[in-house]
């Protein structure tokens, strides 16, 4: 009996009508048949076998979808390897300046991670070029000494602005408590960063300013 190319339900009925038993022994994806059709059988068609023998069937199934891996933060080379292992490809590569991701790492992908797509399809990605030229990123100086804060701000090609003082008995004197522009902010021109600094006694600062006058 030959049930190759038959729908599974029909194939089982044909096999049982000939006093044989049917068993699905394997499934696989093929573009030759829709899901649920017999691709192959054993024993082969028209082989002489005893009644009651089990006919093993290989049945077509839907194409297995691939879960897209998360590529954000990976280097381009790592992303290529990860996609290759998953059976996927890089489709289009874009580039952009992005202060949130180091130069050469992936800042965006489409489709997003964990979506399901067919094997062999491509992923669009954006590779970060790091900070844009002639832009300035504000460092985090909270918790640093005033001297260290000034060094960090100068190194970032920014300027020291107004320094305010706050009395705090628990901190080392001249510790930065706050800054006027949040860390990570990207500026298109150098600006002044105002600082709030701790002191043990505000009177000392007042006396210093009075003496300078």
Note the pLDDT of residue 89: 94
pLDDT digits (tens, 9 = 90+) for 14-28: 999 999 999 999 888
Note the pLDDT of residue 177: 95
Q: What is the DSSP string of 80-107?
A: HHHHHHHT-EEEEEEEE--TTS-TTBEE
Please indicate, yes or no, whether the overall pTM of this predicted structure exceeds 0.85: no
Other beta carbons within 10 Å of 30:
13
Note the pLDDT of residue 145: 95
Note the pLDDT of residue 64: 78
Note the pLDDT of residue 209: 58
Note the pLDDT of residue 208: 64
Give the residues of the chain that fall short of pLDDT 70: 204-213
Taking a C-beta distance cutoff of 8 angstroms, is the pair 139, 170 a contact? no
Taking a C-beta distance cutoff of 8 angstroms, is the pair 205, 165 a contact? yes
Domains belonging to the chain, first-starting first, are 8-61 (3.30.10.20), 65-128 (3.30.10.20), 136-212 (3.30.10.20)
Note the pLDDT of residue 172: 92
- Dist. CA 76–CA 14, nearest whole Å: 54
């Amino acid at each position: 009996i030959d049930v190759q190319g038959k729908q599974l339900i029909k194939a089982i009925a044909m096999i049982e009508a000939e006093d044989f038993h049917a068993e699905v022994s394997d499934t696989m994806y093929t573009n030759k048949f829709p899901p649920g059709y017999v691709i192959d059988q054993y024993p082969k068609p028209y082989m002489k076998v005893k009644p009651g023998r089990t006919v093993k069937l290989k049945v077509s199934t839907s194409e297995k979808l691939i879960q897209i891996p998360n590529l954000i933060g990976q280097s381009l080379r790592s992303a290529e390897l990860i996609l290759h292992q998953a059976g996927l490809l890089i489709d289009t590569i874009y580039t952009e300046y992005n202060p949130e991701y180091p130069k050469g790492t992936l800042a965006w992908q489409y489709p997003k991670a964990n979506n399901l797509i067919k094997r062999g399809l491509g992923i669009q990605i954006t590779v970060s070029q790091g900070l844009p030229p002639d832009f300035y990123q504000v460092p985090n100086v909270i918790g640093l000494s005033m001297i260290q804060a000034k060094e960090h701000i100068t190194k970032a090609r920014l300027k020291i602005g107004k320094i305010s003082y706050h009395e705090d008995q628990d901190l080392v004197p001249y510790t930065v408590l706050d800054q006027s522009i949040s860390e990570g902010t990207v500026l298109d021109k150098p600006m002044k960063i105002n600082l709030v600094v701790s002191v043990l006694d505000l009177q000392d600062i007042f006396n210093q300013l009075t003496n300078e006058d």
